Amino acid sequence: MQTQRSLDATLTALSDPTRRAILARLAQGEATVSELAEPFTISQPAISRHIKVLSEAGLIVQRVDGTRRPCRLAPGGLSELDDYLEMLRNALEQNYGRLDRLLAKQQRKKDRPS
């Protein structure tokens, strides 16, 4: 159940384009809240709310550096999402494998002389 809640929080956090843009910026390296706010036309408090959502989802971490609060990507922040997507990939591969076998079987029946 905890994993499901964590995955839900991750997907909710990723559903917003501003939060995805913040994550993309943090992929380049650590940044302060004001640096993260620069490219956006929204207020710094709104950016702070986005950062809070990302932090609560475990996607970013903040540290205290005097009056600054630099953010960075959290190690393993996407591991549950990776696991979930891997499970879906495996299920799709199995389904396609079954379909391939079924189609091959039907083709062999079709190719047999009557």
The pLDDT, as a whole number, for residue 2 is 55
Give the 3-state DSSP-derived string for the chain, with helices as H, strands as E and coil as C. Answer: CHHHHHHHHHHHHHCCHHHHHHHHHHCCCCECHHHHHCCCCCCHHHHHHHHHHHHHCCCEEECCECCECCEEECCCCCHHHHHHHHHHHHHHHHHHHHHHHHHHHHHHHHHCCC
In the predicted model, is pLDDT for residue 109 greater than 60? Answer: yes
pTM of the predicted structure, to 2 decimals = 0.79
The pLDDT, as a whole number, for residue 114 is 63
